[in-house]
Amino acid sequence: MLQDLEGQRHALGLSVGEKNTYSNWGICPPAGLTGDYLSGGDDYYQDSTSAIPSGHIACTPPVNVVDADGTVYYFSNPYTHIGELGYGDSLPSWIEDRNGNQALFQDSGNGTFTITDTAGRAAVQSSGFGDISGDMVTMSGLSPYHINWETGQFNYFATGVSLSNDIDCVGWGGGTNGTLTSIQQIELPNGQSYFLKYGNDDPNNSNPYGLLSQITYPTGAWVKYTWGMSSPIELLSFGDSAGHANACEYQYGVPVVTSRTVSFDGTSPALHQTFSYSITWNGTNSTQWLSRTTTVTTTDNVAGKSSTTLYTYNSVTSPQAPNEYAAFAPQIPV
């Protein structure tokens, strides 16, 4: 999955196979395995990789990605950082435009990196991400952006409905809890700041999800959000303990925004919105939904008027990654 410079994500459709009987994790698995997908992309990006090289040289072969403008993104190791459950990510090693200008990335880990331009200048530098004592991001020619962090807890249970009678399926485990490190303040080069609050800042614990509850802008204006747990509106499926693909299926709920309030002067709420959601499944215990609706009621506190907008969604099917035998939210609302 590529996240581009605008924050949009693109499914690359790449997969390099490993022997599932391979147990010596000290070196890479053998090369030449079947099931490799060495090229892919979408309407905006095309990409390629290679099979795991012989001689166990590297576990994760490099990935080349090129966009519609001819800009090339090169990842020497797509799994530079290994996260929870074995998922990995990486900054590119370099980005080159079609004129041959190249930005080089030096990744020191923990969010510390330097981007050097073609002339050898440090264009962007980050001191790290997630350090409670504070981090800095410096753009060439500007004073640094200062980023302060806070830690908070989340603890909630998602509603779930099992669609399977498979005795080899693990029961619904929709409970989750843990600690999040989140951005609390972003100070701009001009000295002005954005402030953010999360569920752990709510003394009434009405937001146990650890999600964003307030943004305060440099002018003092703010936006506040409240959250709630939805009824089952998403679907997941995965293999059971006996190895049957997609044998375990669940409908499940997710945290959703229930209201949004805006103040332009930082004191008086000028706008208030409420959100409600509904879904129509294709029959009882269905693995497909037919439509969704979101009802937004907006109250203008200044004008003293309200309006209601009803959004109705059909769906398109999300692209399935090659060699992936689990599905999470396979329908994209449109």
Q: Do 65 and 2 form a contact (C-beta atoms < 8 A)?
A: yes
Q: CA 82, CA 86: separation in Å to the nearest integer?
A: 6
Residues 152-161 pLDDT 10s: 888 888 878 8
Which range has the worst mean pLDDT, 61-65, 70-74, 199-203, 205-209?
199-203
Q: In this structure, is the dihedral angle defined by the CA atoms of residues 277, 153, 3 and 123, taken in order, positive or negative?
A: positive
Mean pLDDT of the chain: 87
pLDDT at 48 over 80: yes
pLDDT at 234 over 80: yes
pLDDT at 8 over 80: yes
pLDDT at 173 over 50: yes
Cβ burial of 199 (10 Å; 0-12, 13-18, 19+) is buried
Residue 53 is predicted with a pLDDT of 59
Q: CA 222, CA 10: separation in Å to the nearest integer?
A: 32
> How crowded is the C-beta side of 254, counted as CA atoms within 13 Å?
13
Q: What percent of the chain has pLDDT over 70?
A: 88
- Return the C-alpha torsion angle 75, 81, 84, 85, nearest 10: 50
pTM of the model as a whole? 0.84
Which range has the worst mean pLDDT, 108-112, 154-158, 159-163, 224-228?
159-163
Residue 57 is predicted with a pLDDT of 46
Partners of residue 160 on adjacent β-strands: 252
